[in-house]
A and B are shown apart, each in its own frame.
Chain A
C-alpha cells in the first residue's frame, strides 16, 4: 500500500508550560491541496516545522510518505518540496548559479520549469538573488521547487511580503501546475481570500490543539453566517454581547461562534437559523423567527467566523 503523503498520529508538543498540541491526528490524501488555517499562536508554524522535519515532536509521530518527518530518508526528501517563510533562498547565488546548485541533487530536475517561471521576471540569469525584490525572489523559489518535480509541497506563508500582483501570479502558477490530482500541497498564508482559488481541503487549527479538516467547497456550502441587527435583540442584548465577547460555552450544540459588532451580531453555524433560534431560546433568549438573516460570506469571512476574531 502506498503510504499517504502526510499522516499525523497522536501528535503532542509543548513549549515550556504551553501546550500546542495534545493529541492531534490528521491524514492528508494524495493529489489534494490543503490549506492550514488558524489564528496566530495556534501552532501553525510549529506544525509546519514538524512537517518540514525541523522540529522533533515530543509525543506522537508525523510521517511523510511513511518516514518520520524528523528522520526522513534522502530518497523521500526528493519527493518533497519546501517553501520556507519569506521565500528563503541563498541570496549570494545568481539565477543560473542557484539552478545549477539545486539541479545536482535532484535526478528528476526540470530546468525548463525553473527558467519558464524566471523568464517572466525579465531578469538576466546573472542577476544576484540578493538584489531581487521579495516578489521576484518568490518566483525564483517557486521555480526551484517546481523544477524539483516533487509530489508533496509544503509552503509556509507563501504570501508574506508579496504585493497583490505577485501574490496572484504565485497562486495562479500553483493552480495551473499543481492542481492536477498528482501533487499534494499543504500551505499556510495570511491572505485567506487567495485560497479559495485552488485549495481543496482546509484544516482549521484551534488553540489547545484541536483541528477540523473538511473540504473547502463543502465547508463554504455548509457553514453559514446569520446576522441579527441590534434593535431586534431587545432585552437579550446584554446576554448576546457577552456571547459575542467570547463567553463559553455557547448555548445549545449548533453554534460555532458568535461575534458582537456595534450595530449587529453574527451567528456562525453549520445548521439552520431555526436550530440557532431554538438554542438561544434554551438560554432564555427569545428572538422573532425572521430576526436572523443569512449573510453571504467569502473565504476570509468564513475563516474568521469559524476561528473567531480574537
Chain B
C-alpha cells in the first residue's frame, strides 16, 4: 500500500505542483484582502461598534471567504484530473499492477490532503486576522462559521472528480446534483455558527462520497455497466 501511495503522490505532486503553488498564492492574496476588509472596519468605526455588529448583529466581515474553498477545490480537481482525462491517460495508471480502488483512493486522498493543508492555512490566517481585533469568542465563532465552507470545498472536489471521471453525460449529472445538493446547504447564509451541529452529519457523508466515486472510476475503466 505504501508503494501505491508513494507512487501516486509522487505523480500527483509533479503534475499539480504549479497548480498547488498558484492556489496557495491566490489563497494568501485572498486572505490578505479579507484582512484589509477587517482592518478597514476598525478604521471606519470604534472597535466596540465593530464588535457589536459582528458579535451581536451577526455581520461577518470575512464572508468573502465562503467562496474560496469551493473555488480552490474545483480548480485543483480540474488541474488534477483533466490531464488524466485528456486522451484517457488515466489508463496508464489504471494498468499499474495494483488494485484500482486503492489506486484511485490514493489520487483522491492526495487531493483531499492538499485541500486540507490549504484550508488549514486559510483557517489559520483567518484566526490570526481576527485574533488581533476580536475577543476569543468571536474568533471561535468565526472558525465555526467557516468550517462548513471548508467542508463544502471537500465535497466540491469529490463531486467535480465524479463529473470529470464519469464517461457518460447522463451520469455526470449525478456529480453535479451531488455537488449542488451537498454544497448549497453548507454555503447558505445563516446565523453565524448555526450550522455547527450539522457538521458531523455532513462529515459522515464524505467517506460515503469517497467510496461512491469508485463507480465513475469503474465506468471509466470498463466503459460499460454491469
Q: Which of A52, A70, A100, A105 contacts B91 (CB 8 A)?
A: A52
Name the CB-closest residue of A to B222. Answer: A56
Q: Which residues of A contact B88 (CB under 8 A)?
A: 54, 84, 88
CB pair A56–B226 under 8 Å, yes or no, is: yes
Distance, CA A74 to CA B98, complexed state (A): 5
A-B contact count (CB 8 A): 73
Given contacts A88-B89, A89-B92, contact A70 B15 (CB under 8 A): no
Distance, CA A78 to CA B91, complexed state (A): 14
Q: Which of B10, B94, B97, B98 contacts A101 (CB 8 A)?
A: B10
Q: Mark B7-33, 1 if CB is under 8 A from A, else 0.
A: 100110011000000000000000000
B173 at the interface (CB under 8 A from A): no
CB pair A90–B223 under 8 Å, yes or no, is: no
Distance to closest chain B CB from A96 (angstroms) = 11
CB pair A77–B95 under 8 Å, yes or no, is: yes
Q: Which residues of A contact B92 (CB under 8 A)?
A: 84, 88-90
B99 at the interface (CB under 8 A from A): yes
Distance, CA A93 to CA B15, complexed state (A): 8
Distance to closest chain A CB from B219 (angstroms) = 10
Q: Which residues of B contact A86 (CB under 8 A)?
A: 87
CB pair B10–A92 under 8 Å, yes or no, is: no
Name the CB-closest residue of A to B99. Answer: A74
Which A residues from 124 to 154 make CB contacts under 8 A with B? none
Distance to closest chain A CB from B190 (angstroms) = 42
Most buried by B among A49, A75, A84: A84
Q: Which residues of B contact A82 (CB under 8 A)?
A: 91, 95
Distance to closest chain B CB from A54 (angstroms) = 6
Which A residues from 87 to 110 make CB contacts under 8 A with B? 88-90, 92-93, 97, 100-102, 104-106
Which A residues from 43 to 73 make CB contacts under 8 A with B? 49, 52-56, 58, 70
Given contacts A52-B91, A88-B91, A90-B89, contact A105 B224 (CB under 8 A): no
Q: Which residues of A contact B39 (CB under 8 A)?
A: none
Q: Which of B15, B83, B97 contacts A105 (CB 8 A)?
A: B97
Q: Which of B10, B98, B222, B223 contacts A100 (CB 8 A)?
A: B10
B221 at the interface (CB under 8 A from A): yes
Q: Which of B10, B83, B97, B224 contacts A74 (CB 8 A)?
A: B97
Q: Which residues of B contact A100 (CB under 8 A)?
A: 10
Given contacts A88-B87, A90-B15, A100-B10, contact A54 B221 (CB under 8 A): yes
CB pair B7–A105 under 8 Å, yes or no, is: yes
Name the CB-closest residue of A to B225. Answer: A56
Name the CB-closest residue of B to A85. Answer: B87
Q: Which residues of B contact A56 (CB under 8 A)?
A: 222-224, 226
B128 at the interface (CB under 8 A from A): no
Q: Which residues of B contact A101 (CB under 8 A)?
A: 7, 10-11, 14
Which B residues from 69 to 101 make CB contacts under 8 A with A? 83, 87-89, 91-92, 94-99
Name the CB-closest residue of A to B223. Answer: A55
Identify the B interface with A (CB < 8 A). 3-4, 6-7, 10-11, 14-15, 83, 87-89, 91-92, 94-99, 221-224, 226
Contacts A54-B94, A54-B221, A55-B223 known; 9 new A-B pairs at CB < 8 A: A53-B221, A70-B222, A77-B95, A78-B97, A82-B95, A89-B89, A92-B15, A92-B83, A101-B7
Identify the A interface with B (CB < 8 A). 49, 52-56, 58, 70, 74-75, 77-78, 80, 82, 84, 86, 88-90, 92-93, 97, 100-102, 104-106
Q: Could you show 23 A-B contacts with beta carbons less than 8 Å apart?
A: A52-B91, A54-B94, A54-B223, A56-B224, A70-B221, A70-B222, A74-B98, A75-B97, A77-B95, A80-B95, A84-B92, A88-B88, A90-B11, A90-B92, A92-B14, A97-B10, A101-B7, A104-B3, A105-B3, A105-B4, A105-B97, A105-B98, A106-B97
